[in-house]
Amino acid sequence: MNVFEAVKENVTARQAAEMYGIRVNRNGMACCPFHDDRHPSMKVDKRFHCFGCQADGDVIDLVARLYGLNNLGAAVKLASDFGISYDNKGRASPRPVKKKISEELKLKQAELQCCRILSDYNHLLEKWKTEYVPETPGEEWHPLFVEALQKQTYTEYLLDTLLGGTAEEKAGIIKEHGKEVMRIGERISGLAASHKAGCHERSGLAPTGTDGR
């Protein structure tokens, strides 16, 4: 139990969440990584609780679920990543030193970010496919309707792989498609900014390439 005590005394769920790439807002709310959460529904402080999927627990439970580890593996990972030392009596160093973010952590952060972007993009594609559908057979197709037809299957494939694929498959998605997903994220942010500025929705996003993926 020594490593459990050492970790719980030195790391909160919020510190771990931010370390592993989960954005927590000023109110202590974050998008839950355990379900398709478009709006922050998880409260993160010393412990965490999701009001959407009811995920709940302490910092060790959070990391265990996030990485598919048992509690011991999660505690050891936290101790390693936060530089927490402990002896056979469970005493931890009072000032844990955060280590340089490892490649594994960088990959996990990129994975979470890509999932959020792709989920938002998929919702937009669904909206465009309905909103811009031609009303008559001879009507010219709107570029966003074309994009929705061409990109939705591709987007769902990327998202499904990131949510349920093997570690190797997820890493492959990040390596091969990560830059493109980041560009999609920039477009989505641009649309949100346009809405705040009072721009009409139809003048928002310019369509991406039409390679049919």
Q: Hey, where are the domains in the chain?
A: 2-81, 103-203
Q: What is the pTM of this model?
A: 0.52
Considering only CA atoms, which of 30, 188, 211 is closest in space to residue 124? 188
Residue 87, pLDDT score: 60
Largest CA distance in the chain: 78
Assign 137 a pLDDT band (cuts: 50, 70, 90).
confident
Assign 197 a pLDDT band (cuts: 50, 70, 90).
low
CA gyration radius, the chain: 21
Q: Specify the range with the lowest mean pLDDT, choosing from 27-36, 46-55, 102-111, 198-207.
A: 198-207
| pLDDT average, residue stretch 69-82 | 90
Residue recorded with tokens 């649309």 = 191
Residue 112, pLDDT score: 85
Residue 211, pLDDT score: 44
Helix axes 143-164, 103-131, angle to 10 degrees: 140
Model pLDDT for residues 141-166, shown as the tens digit of each residue: 999 999 999 999 999 999 899 888 88
CATH superfamily of 2-81: Zinc finger, CHC2-typedomain (3.90.580.10)
Q: What percent of the chain is predicted at pLDDT more than 70?
A: 81
For the chain, the average pLDDT equals 82
